[in-house]
Amino acid sequence: MEVLRIATSGSVDDGKSTLIGRLLYDTQSIPQDKMEALHAASKRKGLDFTDLSLLTDGLVAEREQGITIDVAHIYFSTPTRKYIIADTPGHIEYTRNMVTGASNAQVSLILIDARRGIVEQTYRHFFIANLLRIPYLVVCVNKMDLVEYSEARFNQIVEDFQQLLANAGFKGQAVQFVPISSLYGENVATRNGAIDWYQGPTLLAYLEQISFDHEDNRHPARFPVQSVIRPRTTEYHDFRGFAGKVASGHFTVGDEVVSLPSGQKSRIKTIEQFEKQLTVAHARESVIITLEGEIDSSRGNMLVKADQVPAQLKEIQAQICWMDQQPLTAGKTYLLQHGVNRVKAKVQQINYVTDVTSYQAVSDKTQMGLNDIGSITLKTAAPVFADSYAENPANGAFILIDEYNNTTVAVGFIATP
Amino acid sequence: MTHQINWEFPQALEDEAIYILRETAAQFEKPVLLFSGGKDSITLVRLAQKAFYPGKIPFALLHVDTGHNFPETIEFRDWLVNHLGLDIIVRNVQDSIDQGKVQEETGKYASRNALQTVTLLDAIEEGKFDACIGGARRDEEKARAKERIFSVRDEFGQWNAKMQRPELFDILNGKINIGENVRVFPISNWTELDVWNYIRRENLRIPSIYFAHEREIIERDGLYWPYSPYLNTTAEEVPYRQKVRFRTVGDMTCTAAVLSEADKLEDIIAEIMEAKISERGARIDDKRSEAAMEKRKQAGYF
């Protein structure tokens, strides 16, 4: 059974939580006791309808303010597919949480209020979906009931959004526009006839037919070593296996591999998954690889195929999203974590900061503040074996960690080589 | 509408959980697996076995025993530990009560559920555990839906929802300051149904109380409470025998039963698919207020 991961985003009051509530409701995913709790909570708030949005705002502070602060993960299934929705905040000051929620998504769902059309937050959300290269983009024009289900209004918003795509140098992900009313459930999972001029699929029907082409299986093979398994028991006295999750591509028994950074070569003897022996390991599978010869490899190293060796980087150009209250300052040293490998890295310079509403690069910045997105140059203490994010996302992203308080302060997308 | 039953377990979830367990073992000095004897922690043990095979599970289990557990759960716990040759540490809420650190609740709804937080935090401090692996799932409860995979707690065990670390892709940052610890949730993205399908696929043994059986119960507030010496009953609450099973395994004072005839896994799964009540709908501890779980998490509950 496949798992489809969706990140939702929209401006405050676009009806994001209502849409999610509606999806759950229409797929019979809300048990009766939760439904009753929703009725009661809506009544307490003085509402004359059941507020499905109360389902997702899980924190006291969120319910008090009626806004989403942090990512909530929500689950529902259809007979064919399991869905994970990362419901991310719409407020500008929680952009970092939006990136957090979107980083694992295959689908970016952007909500637009039919009355207001494209707003500043739409640019920001689209920018992030584009930066992350999320393969599918679904633009839901919501609250169609409040514009009398106007086809002209919908077409106008689609046109405005197409303009936005053109201006942003959009990388060519699939885009689908759906006119909906979350409140009445129109075009979410069912068609009730109010939007008869729309010929396309409902939101759920569109999600159901998205294909998993597993692009990362076609990328070069990368196996970051998480740990070395050495039981040293009588039965497994000489066993030495490299445990890890295939980041991208695939490995087959007999493949010639190189361990980085040592550069030593060997061949794959076995690929194991608990008591099973596999002949091939695909992207995202957690396995143990054993090799024919004894080579030097340990946590943080990477096994790659001998004919697909990644670049060895000591200077990295990357787009980053800064996520800390304390600004990024050129010249400061951080810990760079690329997969399971950590190295020290110094910020050589801030190349530019992007205005995510106009897409203009501002190049005279010496600092990057919370939620800023821009390009920096890093110098690392040891080589990092990475691909560019554009060519292989699974081996092209990293985080920066503040050495003094240990928090994750940035996410980076490698632009070089 | 009747749900179509899907028996297939999404394999991606197992691969993700194994990756998380291996990161935990590699990034921390002294991890421990919080084991309650329930289906989620049994699933965690299986995943840990797979993550390090053919090596041993490189950490111990920690069970905070409230003293009000179902005897069937304790029996199962001892069997599992013995069967797999695991290390287990047991800490008793009774000791915290005897030391005067916590006070037994009184009245009809008295439960030791909240008290176990103190015993847990003491055990973490004594054992110097820097990572506690738990079987919490984000689908259980809305405060849990906000949880990170690596969730940092301060030295008082507190969860600060507004100050959570960003968590990106599958890059896990387990760096912490001395005194802090991380709660690790490898099965965050699983649902109740995923857990049952996994137990079925892996053919795992589980405590007998998950299956329909006859036992003494009382009815209170529309729920079926297991009758035990720990339950404070009123004169009108007369126990009688009834065929029931449990969907979650907590204390005998805070876990309600459901009427059921399901005595094998397939029936349980079919029953869950048809259920009108959520899993935690039978958890009396969650019913105390709308933010019951969030408050307990802030206090250091796992």
pLDDT in tens, chain B (302 residues): 345 667 889 999 999 999 999 999 999 999 999 999 999 999 999 999 999 999 999 999 999 999 999 999 999 999 999 999 999 999 999 999 999 999 989 888 888 888 899 999 999 999 999 999 999 999 887 778 888 999 999 888 788 877 788 999 999 999 999 889 999 999 999 999 999 999 999 999 999 999 999 999 999 988 899 999 998 888 889 999 999 999 888 889 888 899 999 999 999 988 887 765 666 665 666 655 656 667 766 666 66
Chain A CB contacts of B202 under 8 Å are none
- Contact: B169, A397; criterion CB under 8 Å: yes
pLDDT score of A33 more than 80: no
Would you give the DSSP letter of residue B29? S
Residue B90 main-chain phi, psi, to 5 deg: -115, 130
Q: Among A136-140, A312-316, B231-235, which stretch is predicted with the lowest mean pLDDT?
A: B231-235
Nearest CA in chain A to B56: A231
Q: pLDDT tens, A229-256?
A: 999 888 898 899 999 999 999 999 999 9
Nearest CA in chain B to A57: B142
- B204 contact A CB<8A: no
- Contact: B6, A58; criterion CB under 8 Å: no
Residue B14 main-chain phi, psi, to 5 deg: -70, -45
Chain B CB contacts of A278 under 8 Å are none
Interface test with A, best of B2, B164, B169 (most A CBs within 10 A): B169
Of A31, A75, A284, the CB nearest to B12: A284
Nearest CA in chain A to B1: A28
**Do the interacting molecules here have an ipTM over 0.85?**
yes
Torsion sign over Cα A176, A179, A182, A187: negative
- Contact: B173, A337; criterion CB under 8 Å: yes
- Cβ–Cβ under 8 Å, residues B161 and A70: yes
Strands A241-245 and A227-229: antiparallel
- Contact: B10, A82; criterion CB under 8 Å: yes
> What is the model's pTM?
0.93
- B178 contact A CB<8A: no
Rounded to a whole number of angstroms, the distance from the CA of A75 to the nearest CA of chain B is 7
Residue B1, pLDDT score: 39
Q: Which of B219, B215, B133, B116 is nearest to B174 (CA)?
A: B133
Mean per-residue pLDDT for A356-384? 90
Chain B CB contacts of A406 under 8 Å are 173, 175-177
> Distance between CA A67 and CA A89 in Å, rounded?
8
Per-chain mean pLDDT for chain A: 90
Q: Which of A225, A227, A223, A224 is nearest to A252 (CA)?
A: A223
- B138 contact A CB<8A: yes
